[in-house]
Amino acid sequence: MIPIVTAEQMRALDHRTIMEAQVPSLTLMERAGTGVVTQLEARFGPLAGKSIVIFCGKGNNGGDGFVIGRLLRRKKSRVHVLLLASPSDLSRDAKIMYQRLVRSAGPSVVTRPADAEAIRQRLAVGEVIVDAILGTGLSAPVTGIFRDAIEAITAAGRPTVAVDLPSGLHADSGMVLGAAIRADLTVTFGLPKAGLYSGSGIDCAGTVQLVDIGIPASFVQAIGSRLMLLTDTAARATLVPRRLASHKGTYGHVGIIAGSVGKTGAAAMAALAALRVGTGLVTAAVPSSVNDILEAKLLEVMTLPLPETKARTFARSGLDRLLAFADARDAVAIGPGLTTHPETVDLVQQFVKRVDKPCVIDADALNALAGKSSLLTECKRPPIITPHPGEMARLEAEATTQSVNDDRLGTATRFARERGVFVILKGARTVIARPDGVAAICPTGNPGMATAGTGDVLTGMIGGLLAQGLSPWDAACAATYFHGLAGDLAAQHLGQAGMIARDLIRYIPHALSPTTQA
């Protein structure tokens, strides 16, 4: 995993690299600019002949922009640099890079637009826009020519690449400070910034690519960041290897406690997802009258009918059988499609206190704990819970869906610490938090996954990985990462608008394949 940092932490890392590792600040700037050009080529193909408009501010972000302009000229691009400040106001390093650009390309490559109309005229010739206006130091609302530029870039509708951070975005909170660039691609340097994965930063940043500028690994370790970014390498390292001498028992047996009349699909999808993530055996426990329906839907999954209410949901009288069912499995998942029938709610509350197996709690099992989340502290083992913001709000006293969304990271980490559980707070850039306060953000996933049943798929994947012997933290992180990656692969092949949850199940094996990269 890669540490996610605040603006202050990144400044400290830059300073240590310059002072202690004796890497000149201009070298860091050159590496940053080179990284952006590399990403431009990867995104847009050969750059020769392309008209690229680069907006530069007066700070080091603008300095990166001047480097990019100089390097793009070498690539035979048609470069137009718009300087939004007086050359005399440039920071020391930015001024040096400005002078190098002018020496190599001539003074005509840089213009100073006088007003918004001049900016719009320049934008009219650009095929690609590079935003190097404002960096991570911004703390006040954007005004003047900077705001004019941001609004004109937004109105232009051209492919836009942000340098380090979209201008106008708060580097730590992801809050828009007056106005912000909505980039298609953000090329960030050294380490990812928290604001790229929080609040409005998710939409403003677009795709985020990280460029290594040579910060020593020992310096990165020393910051002790409590927030991490999930990576493909880290997720794959947790998966159970497939040994030649293995058999189905090698890869665990998960019990899925799910379903009710009208909601057998939730149980089926969770069970199939558990199989697709590599689990050896899956048994679904369901209310007795829907057992035949589930058997008709599933070929590879075993089922167990249990006592039910007149409403065809799990009955309180089945508690002992349910506990015995869980005890015979390596892990359990409970929640999809249960309903909130009063008897079923009571059953869930008693079950989660007494079950003694690795467990993931989702959907209506979480709703059964609404107003009674203190029951989670009574669990024999810390469970994994997988709420969406609405479910999280029902678990947290005095919370609302809006307050959860306004502080997703804070909500997840606080609840994990207070209740001693592992939290997967679902949504755009899902947050995973553990009881000791460490948290991670998942970079995979897309809006096509905003459809019924995708949460049931995640629950099955988590349960399956728990059954294979992964720790709760590793299972939570790996399942979330590969769930998102399966969604990204489905979107590539099908488009986002028409995706359904079964598409994710179909692409889980492709996501797990060693040849697939995010």
Cβ-contact 286, 258 below 8 angstroms = yes
Per-residue pLDDT of the chain (518 residues; tens, 9 = 90+): 999 999 999 999 999 999 999 999 999 999 999 999 999 999 999 999 999 999 999 999 999 999 999 999 999 999 999 999 999 999 999 999 999 999 999 999 999 998 999 999 989 889 999 999 999 989 999 999 999 999 999 999 999 999 999 999 999 999 999 999 999 999 999 999 999 999 899 999 999 999 999 999 999 999 999 999 999 999 999 999 999 999 999 999 999 999 999 999 999 999 999 999 999 999 999 999 999 999 999 999 999 999 999 999 999 999 999 999 999 999 999 999 999 999 999 999 999 999 999 999 999 999 999 999 999 999 999 999 999 999 999 998 889 999 999 899 999 999 999 999 999 999 999 999 999 999 999 999 999 999 999 999 999 999 999 999 999 999 999 999 999 999 999 999 999 999 999 999 999 999 999 877 76
Q: CA nearest 330: which of 194, 196, 465, 448?
A: 465
- Six token digits for residue 244: 């030649």
* Residue 518 pLDDT: 66
Backbone angles phi, psi at 201, to 5 degrees: -60, -30
Cβ-contact 427, 291 below 8 angstroms = no
* Residue 43 pLDDT: 96
Tell me the sheet residues that pair with 138: none
* Residue 72 pLDDT: 97
Long-range Cβ contact pairs of 497-501 (< 8 A, separation 24 or more): 497/448, 499/448, 499/449, 499/451, 500/451, 500/452, 500/453, 501/269, 501/451, 501/452, 501/453, 501/454, 501/456, 501/457
Report the C-alpha gap between 289 and 307 in whole angstroms.
Answer: 9
Cβ-contact 117, 39 below 8 angstroms = no
Cβ-contact 416, 392 below 8 angstroms = no
* Residue 186 pLDDT: 98
Cβ-contact 286, 306 below 8 angstroms = yes
CB burial string 265-287: b at 16+ within 10 A, e below: bbbbbbbbbbbbbbbbbbbbbbb
Q: Which residue has the tokens 């590969």?
A: 482
- Six token digits for residue 124: 């009219």
Report pTM.
0.94
* Residue 236 pLDDT: 97
234-239+250-512 in CATH: which number?
3.40.1190.20
Query: 2-222 has which fold?
Result: Rossmann fold (3.40.50)
Tell me the sheet residues that pair with 208: 186
| Domain residue ranges in the chain | 2-222, 234-239+250-512
